[in-house]
A and B are shown apart, each in its own frame.
Chain A
C-alpha cells in the first residue's frame, strides 16, 4: 500500500524569529533555508514572527529587514515554496507585493479564529498575482468546531489553497485537536494543516492527532525553535511520522543535521517548557507574549505568571502585546495601593 503523504511546513525562520527576538541575519537565513530545501520540506516560511511588516516597537524590531532575508533565501530555495506570513491589520497588500518581488511564492494569511473576513482582500490579491494562499486561523482553542468550520468556509470561498489551524497558545489537548480537524475534514474539500505550540508538552502528540484526523500539512520548526515553549520539533515529528508509516518526503538524517548543526548554534536559550511557557498553555495565552511578559515583569517588578493569568482572563488575542504593559501597569498600581 502506498504511504499517505504529509507535507512538512517549516517555520523556523518565522515562528522561530520570536525565540531569537527577530534577530536573524542574512547568513543564518540563507543557511537554514538552504538546509531545509535540500532535505525536502514542502514549505519554508520566513517572516518577522508577527508576519511581514511585523517589525515594530509592539512586536520587536527586526535586526535585518525581512525583505533582505527573503531575497537571500530565495537564491537557495529550489524545491520548496518560500512562504511568508501576513496578519491583516499589521501587514498590507503592499507588503505582500514586496514579498512576492523578493521571492515569496506563497502566503499564509492569519487572523484570529473568529475574524477570517478581514483576510479576504489579501487572499484574493495573492491568488490574482499567482501566489499560493493559505487561510490561517489563530488561537483556535477559543472557538468551537462549528465556528471554525464557518470561518474556514470564508477562506475557501475566497480561493484559499488550504486551511491552517493554529493552537497559538499551546492550550489544546489531543481530543480538542481531533474535534476541530475532523469537523473541518467533514465540511470542506481543500486540504487542512495544523500548527502547534509545545506549552503543555503536547505538540508532537497534537500534530499526530491532527494527521490521524486528516490534516495533510503540519507546521514544524528545527529544535522546536518558536514562541512560548516552541513549536512541533521538525526532526522529531519526521521520525515519528516515519515510524507511523507516513511519507513526509524529508530526509530524516538530513533534517537532524540541519537542526543540530545550523539551528542549534544560533539558539539564545534552550527551548524548554519552563514555568512561564507552561502558564501560556495552561491559561490559553498567545505564545509570543512570553518574552514581552518577561520584560514587563522586570520593569514593573512583577511575577510573569501573574501577568499571563490576567491576560488570559481578559481574553487577549494574538497581536495584543501592548496589553502586557496595560496589565503590568494595573497590577503594579494594585500592589502599591
Chain B
C-alpha cells in the first residue's frame, strides 16, 4: 500500500522517538532526518537506512517527496522554519510551544481542523489533561479548570527546564481554548524519585452542573478515546465529586519505542502528533486515490 513520506527536523530524543513511531505507522513512511550538526540521532537514522541531512529545514523543504514534517526543534527555530515549510507546501506537526498554527488534541478537535497545514501539539501536560478537561466541560460546563502535571526529573529535557514558564502558559491557554474552561491554570512539578515515577496528571474542575453520572460517563469515554492512540494512558483516580469540584487523576506510561517507559510525557505528545499525521496522511491518500 502507498504511504506518505515524512521528514523530521531535530534528531534529539523527541525526533528519534518520532522516527520509531513513524516506522510503525500504517500510512506514514520515514524518509529523512534533518539536523544542523552531526549527532547520535543523525547516525541512528542513517544506520536504519533513512536519508539524513545537516541542512535542517532547508533540506526537508527542498525534498519534493516529503509531504509531512515533524518539527522537533525549539519554539525559536520553529518561528524561522514555519514559513519555509509553508512555502514548500508541507504539512507540519509543530512539537514546540511556538503555536504558529492552532492547538490540536486529537480526540478533541482534530476533526475540526481538516484544512490546517501547521498543527501545534501544545505540551505533554496539555495532551494528557485536555481530553479530561474537555470531557468534564462538555457535560458539566467548567468555569475553572486547573491541572497539575508531575514528570520524572529524568524525562524533563534541557528545553523544558530552561523554559518552564512556557509549559505553564501554553498549557493554560490550551486548557481554555481547546479544553473549554472559562479560565484555567497549569502547574508542573518535577520529581527526581529513582526508579523514576510514571507521569501523573491531576485535573481539577469547578463546574456549573455537577451531574455525577454524566461526568463519569464522559470521562470514561474520553479516556478510551485517548487510549486509542496512547495505549499507556490510564485512569488512576476516577472522578471524585465534591460539591461543584471534580478531581480526576490520570497516569501516562510510555510505549518504550525509543525512550524509557517512565517518559510518558514525551510519549504522549509524540503519540498525539503521530495520530494527527496519520489522519492527515489518510486524507492525502484518499484524495490521490
Give the segment of B221-229, B234-242, B266-274 that binds chain A: B234-242
* Nearest 9 CB-CB pairings of A with B: A322-B202, A315-B193, A57-B204, A92-B165, A89-B188, A319-B189, A114-B192, A322-B148, A329-B237
Residue of B whose beta carbon sits closest to that of A333: B237
Bound Cα distance from A33 to B99, whole angstroms:
43
Q: Which residues of A contact B187 (CB under 8 A)?
A: 56, 58, 89-90, 319
What's the nearest-Cβ distance from chain B to residue A115, in Å? 5
- Return the chain A residue nearest B203 by Cβ: A322
Q: How far is the CA of A314 from the CA of B150 in the complex (A)?
A: 13
**In the assembled complex, B87 has its CB within 8 A of some CB on chain A:** no
Assess whether B60 is interfacial by the CB under 8 Å rule. no
Report B's interface with A, CB cutoff 8 A. Answer: 144, 146, 148, 150, 153, 158, 161-165, 167-169, 185, 187-193, 197, 200, 202, 204, 206, 236-237, 240, 242, 245, 247, 249
- Please state if A115 and B153 are interface contacts (CB–CB under 8 Å): yes
Q: How far is the CB of B27 from the nearest CB of chain A, in Å?
A: 37
Partner of A56, one of B146, B169, B240, B245: B146
State whether A317 touches B164 (Cβ < 8 A). Answer: no
CA distance A90 to B161 in the complex (A): 13
Which chain A residues border B148 with CB–CB below 8 Å?
Answer: 58, 319-322
Name A residues whose Cβ lies closer than 8 Å to a Cβ of B: 56-58, 88-90, 92-94, 112, 114-115, 117-118, 120-121, 299, 314-323, 325-326, 329
Query: Does the CB pair A121–B165 fall under 8 Å?
Result: yes
Query: 6 new A-B pairs (CB below 8 Å) besides A88-B165, A314-B197?
Result: A57-B144, A88-B164, A89-B164, A89-B168, A118-B190, A314-B193
Q: A117-B162, A121-B165, A319-B187 are in contact. Are A58 and B192 (CB under 8 A)?
A: no
* Residues of B close to A92: CB separation below 8 A: 165, 168-169
Residue picked from B164, B167, B247, most chain A C-beta under 10 Å: B164
Chain A residues in 8 Å Cβ range of B146? 56-58
Contacts of A329 in B (CB 8 A): 236-237, 240, 249
Max chain B CB contacts within 10 Å: which of A115, A299, A316?
A115
Contact A121 B242 (CB under 8 A): no
Nearest residue, chain B, Cβ from A147: B192
CB-CB under 8 A for A322 and B192, given A121-B163, A121-B165, A329-B237: no
Q: How far is the CB of B262 from chain A (nearest CB, A)?
A: 13
CB of A243 to closest CB in B, whole Å: 40
A58's contact among B169, B204, B237, by CB below 8 Å, is which? B204
CA distance A313 to B163 in the complex (A): 30
